[in-house]
Each structure stands twice: as structure tokens, then as C-alpha cells.
Structure 1
């Protein structure tokens, strides 16, 4: 039976994307998800949630860091059956060490590419990230990749190296690349699997009274803080992956008109019901030092997210906007869904900053 191969289930994006793929394809098409053994229970529960199509989801335990994807004898049969592939699995951690990032993000992508190259796929869909831009200053287009940029952490550098591998084989493998900005919860419900990145601002705001103070590094009033709701990312991938025009293209799934860091914090403050939110500018080292001494476990300290408060790049979304035209899919403005993010955070304190992408 023909199948769609997918990595990154039951992760944040992968879980939602599987539903879109099942809806798109006929009942005789399955989706085969390569899962880590430690996520078996979570994957089974997530598949069961998709009640109407749970029997069309095949869960195969494996490991992308293994050249054979940890599949053993099942490798060749799965390769023969695969007609389309989506690679989402990655370590998303701005503070990760180089070696695990290399093994998962770079070597894992290399191994998936080898698998796909041996399959007769109609298309390979690779989920990259806008932070392949690294510390590039200025407008970063969808055609740019090798710009001599430096990188602020091993997540950026390993995801960049992985996309280089993918782009090097586009003549051989029909490919579409998606570069999401930082994904947050659903724009309608606020639902998310983890609280990281910009959720540190929500945490800081809700810990304070009617008047809140959230210091930010100098330059945060001018720097774009680009986040996108999960449903936009998944809807865009679901649509773009199904059109012929997307072959060979790169898509920035980012907010084309993002708020600055200061604007984002103040919008969250308003959504949290604050009478006034003050965002005083301080040297980055001072803000970091204060948090490290007063709240060493705060998400802003642990996540490495300081750099993104003064992001030096902005992202051109021309390919995305052009090819989504007429689809009804567009990135909502941050202020339209900020309240949903805050409400979900308030109502679900059991969620933490751990999770899969």
C-alpha cells in the first residue's frame, strides 16, 4: 500500500500535519510516522485522538541518527511504498550542545535524504527554520542561504547545515522547503504542547500586578520578534505541499508584518489585563545578569532567547504570499490571537517548556 512517510510525530507541528495529510488523501493511502521509542505511548494516544483515521496511521519505531533509520529489515519495504515524505524531526533547543545537534539535525537529515533518494517520491518536504539566517543583518529572502552569516548558537548552525544538504540534492530529489518562524499556540484556541520562547514574557507578566515591568535589551524597540501560530504553519504546509508550483521553492512561513519585541510584550500585557506594561531598555548584559541572579530558572535564561529580542534579520515572504493567494490562508496579526495564547497559558499550568517540535 502506498504511504506518506513523516518524521516528527507526535511533535508540535507533526501531530497537526498528519491530520491534514489524512484529510487530503484517499482512504487507501496511509501515513507512516517514524517515532522514537520513548514517545511510543504519546504517539499512540495522539493517533487515537484522530478517531476517523487512526487505522491509517502506522507507527514505526526508529532513529534518524542511524543510517538505516533504525528500521532494520523494514527499510527496503517502506522505501518501496513511500510516495511522499515530510521531514520535521529536529532538536529545537537554542542552548543545545553541538554534538547532539549535529547527530539529529545534520546527520539525521542526511539519513532521511538517503532514504528518500532511494524511494520514488513525488515530493520531499523539508521543514527548516527562518533562523538559518543566523546573525545576518537586513532583509533575508527565501532564495538566500549561503550568505557568509555567523550563528548565535548550535541550533541555528546545525539547521543551516541541514538545509544546505537538502538544497544540494534538489536536482536529484523534487523538494519543497519550509522555513517557519518561531511557532506558538493555535490562533483560535491558544493550544500548544510546550511553553518556550515568547511564553517567557507571558510568565513574567502574569507574575506581576496591575502594572508590569518587563525589561528588554536596547534595540528591542526596533527589532522584529517574528512568531507565527501553529495552525498557520500547518495550514500553509498542507496547502503548499499539494500544488505543483511549490516544487523547487523555499517558503518563509513567517509574519510578513511582525511586531517589534517591545510591541509584542506590550500586546501580551494588554491581553493579560495589565493597566500598563513598561518595557525599559537596558544593556543586554545587565538584563541577563539581573535575571540570572534573581530568577536563574526563568525561561529567558534557560532558553537562550535573549538574542531573538534584538533579531538583526527580517524575513521576506514573497513566495509564500504569492502561492497562498486565493487559498484563504494568511498569517494573522499577533494582536488578533495574543489573548488566546495568554488564556491557554493561564488555564493550563501543567504544561512546561519540554516537548517535541
Structure 2
């Protein structure tokens, strides 16, 4: 029986990673959970049916010294863990600078300390660290998986901290078996549409679905630009698969859509699925930033410029090696056309629930 530690609860990515791990009958999961989410995590584990017996909910704090555990407990955890799936990070536009730095940088340091403690005891756990293409900042053109320091601008705390975290992980690869899963914008589950954080492209989707049915909204960026999104379940499946492959240690992998839709096509399809009028025309990026400072968007994000920058990117992500490696294990990224329906349906159901409760949809990152 192998034991995998998962950080990042209650985020959906962490929960999807855990269920992917449990698909292996010879694997068990330790979920590192903050105290305020402890009972919720236990209730979630109980919903897993026969697999619940292979889930241990451990109270801890990934940003604290020794993960908030006692010294002996920390060393015991380091000794018995085979793989760490580190998914406690944030790219949210809503998280404050100090919180995002603690989570993305200090959390990474603590995970690496756990791995080093295991190494000193003769059992170095594999580290699978989940990252984001935001680590590449404003870099454009064809970006490779081993790219990191390109002289690019880092335009936000999220980009700065993801970049710094990846530098720590890359340095650690010299002595530890580390794999970095660098994903594009994560969207809902490809089967159910479920998502836990309305961020990135969801902000425009929510504005579209909240507007009058016959209103045509202009797109907030150049329509010819790629909108690279990837479903959360694919990221989880890719990370768990790479985490047991020896050849994946010491490498960074782009987990992205190999054939992303353009911004124009993506939002046209979203409008069609939602029964809305197709967006008409595009607003130049600079004007988009100004428009997104309107009250309707200020309630959704405090960083409209960062929101537009995420959509208006000319970056392309090389990942032919990643696709070949994952395809050999039957793991392929779903096409946008295959999950746009569940994605829109889930947002519509949440907006309807909000209208019934007459409260705001929560856009805060629960980890921060």
C-alpha cells in the first residue's frame, strides 16, 4: 500500500487529486487540512463510500513550520509518505499579497522540507507540485516546459509568487524527485462542470449570463487570441499519472489544451449553449481594462487589468512531450466542445441559486 499526501483542501483540485489516487486500490490518501475545515473534510471523506477507509484527514497548515505538526509527527509523516501532491496554491485575483506569498512560496518551502526530512530517513517522497502558466508572466510566443527565466515581466503577485515557487522547485530537483505540473487556466470538471472558484474566464461568463438575454456583449480582448483552458479533472488525472512515472521526475510539464479555441470562438459557443445572443465585436485590450472598472465588474474582481491580461495573451505552450507521455497511459485533455455544456450549466445553476438566496456568489479563495 502506497501513501500519498495531498495539500490544498478544500479546493476542488485537491479533492479531485484524492479521488484519482483512490482509483488505485493499493493507494491511500492523507489529506492535510486546516483546523477550520477539519469537520467538513471528514464529512467529505465519508461520502467516498468504500474508499473512505483509505483516507486519513490530518490537521495541519502547509504554510506553518513543520506544517503545523509536532516534530515527531512531522518526521513520521515524512517517513511514511510515498508521494506528495502539493496543490495548496492560489492564482486568484482576490487574494491579498501577503496571503498569496505565504501560500505559494512558504507552502512550497514546507513541502520541500518534508521531502528532505524523508530523504534523511532513507525514504524521499516524490513531490508533484501543481503550478500555473502564470509562472511565465508576460512571456509571449512559443513557450517550452523548461522555460522559466526569460526576462519577462511579472505583472501581479500571483505571477511573481508562482514564478518564485517554481524556482524553488527547480533548485530542489538537484537532490529530490520533483515534478512540476504547470497548468493553463483551470476550469470546471469536464463531466459535471463543477468549479469552486469563479475566476479567470468565469468573470466574463458570469457577466454574460447575468445580463439581459437579448443584450450582445463585446468580447473583452482580441478574438483571435487563444483561450487556453483545461478542466480540473484532467489536471488531477495528469498529475497523479505523472507522479508514479520515474521518467517524470526532475521535469516540468505543460498540462494545457493542445488545440485551444480562440477567445471569439469560446465565448460564441458559451453564448450559444446558454441561449444568449452571440457576442458582437471586440473591444481593444486597453479599452477593456477601462470598461472592467465599472461597478458591475468591481464586485467580481479587484484586479480588472490582471483579468484582461490573462485573456489577452499571445503565449503558446509547447507540450508534445507531455501529451505523448500521458497518452501512453490513456490520459488526454478533453476538447473544449466536449465540456462547454457542463461548464455553462454549472454556472447557470449557481447563479440561479444565488438569485434564490439573494446573496453574492463567493469569489474568495478558501485557502487564503
TM-score between both structures, scaled by the size of structure 1: 0.91
Over 3 Å counting, the alpha-carbon distance change for 1:212 and 1:280 in structure 2 is farther
1:54 aligned to which of 52, 55, 80: 52
1:100-121 deviation digits (Å, cap 9, x = unpaired): 2222211111111011111113
2:270 is matched with which residue? 268
Distance change (3 Å), C-alpha of 1:282 and 1:60: same
Please report how far the alpha carbon of residue 312 of structure 1 lies from its aligned counterpart in structure 2 after TM superposition: 3.2
Q: Distance in 2 between matches of 1:51 and 1:25?
A: 13
Instruction: Tell me the equivalent position of 1:112.
Output: 111
In the alignment of these two chains, the number of paired residues is 353
Q: Is the 8 A contact 2:216 2:277 kept in 1?
A: no
Would the aligned equivalents of 1:6 and 1:85 in 2 still touch at CA under 8 Å?
A: yes
Q: Aligned residue for 2:174?
A: 171
Per mean C-alpha deviation after superposition, the further-off stretch among 250-259 and 39-48 is 39-48
Q: What's the CA shift string for 1:120-173, capped at 9, x where partnerless?
A: 135211111111110002111111111121111001110110111011011210
The one of 177, 180, 185 equivalent to 2:183 is: 180
Query: How far has the Cα of 1:300 moved from its partner?
Result: 5.4
Contact 1:85 1:124 survives alignment (8 Å): yes
Match of 1:214 in 2: 217
Secondary structure of the structure 2 residue equivalent to 1:124: strand
Pairwise CA distance, 1:99: 2.3
Alignment of structure 1 residues 194-233 onto 2, 5 Å? 194-218=197-221, 220-233=222-235
Instruction: Give me the whole-angstrom Cα distance separating, in 2, the residues matched to 1:60 and 1:322.
Output: 36
In structure 2, distance between residues paired with 1:116 and 1:267: 44
Residue in structure 1 matched with residue 154 of structure 2 by the alignment: 151
Give the Å deviation of 1:301: 5.3
The correspondence for 2:362, drawn from 337, 347, 352, is 352
**Counterpart secondary structure, 1:277:** coil
CA distance in structure 1 between the aligned counterparts of 2:285 and 2:53, rounded to whole angstroms: 55
Alignment of 1:89 with 2:88, yes or no, is yes
Per-residue CA distance 1:25-47 (angstroms, 9 max, x = gap): 52xx5321111112223212221
Partner SS for 1:173:
coil
The Cα shift of 1:294 comes to: 4.2
Alignment correspondent of 2:358: none
Which segments of 5 or more consecutive residues in structure 1 lack a partner in the other structure? none
Alignment of 1:1-357 (within 5 A): 3-26=3-26, 29-73=27-71, 74-119=73-118, 120-218=123-221, 220-284=222-286, 286-299=287-300, 304-349=306-351, 350=353, 352-356=362-366
In structure 1, C-alpha distance between the alignment counterparts of 2:3 and 2:247, rounded to whole Å = 22
Unmatched runs of 5 consecutive residues or more in structure 2: 354-360
Distance 1:225 1:299 in 2: 20
Q: Following superposition, which runs of at least 4 residues in structure 1 exceed 6 angstroms of deviation? A: none
Q: Is the 8 A contact 1:291 1:298 kept in 2?
A: no
Distance 1:207 1:67 in 2: 44
- Separation in 2 of the partners of 1:15 and 1:70? 21
Q: Is the 8 A contact 2:93 2:199 kept in 1?
A: no
Q: Contact 2:90 / 2:365 at 8 angstroms: preserved in 1?
A: no
Q: Which moved more, 1:326-335 or 1:146-155?
A: 326-335
Using the alignment, how far apart are the partners of 1:108 and 1:327 within structure 2? 30
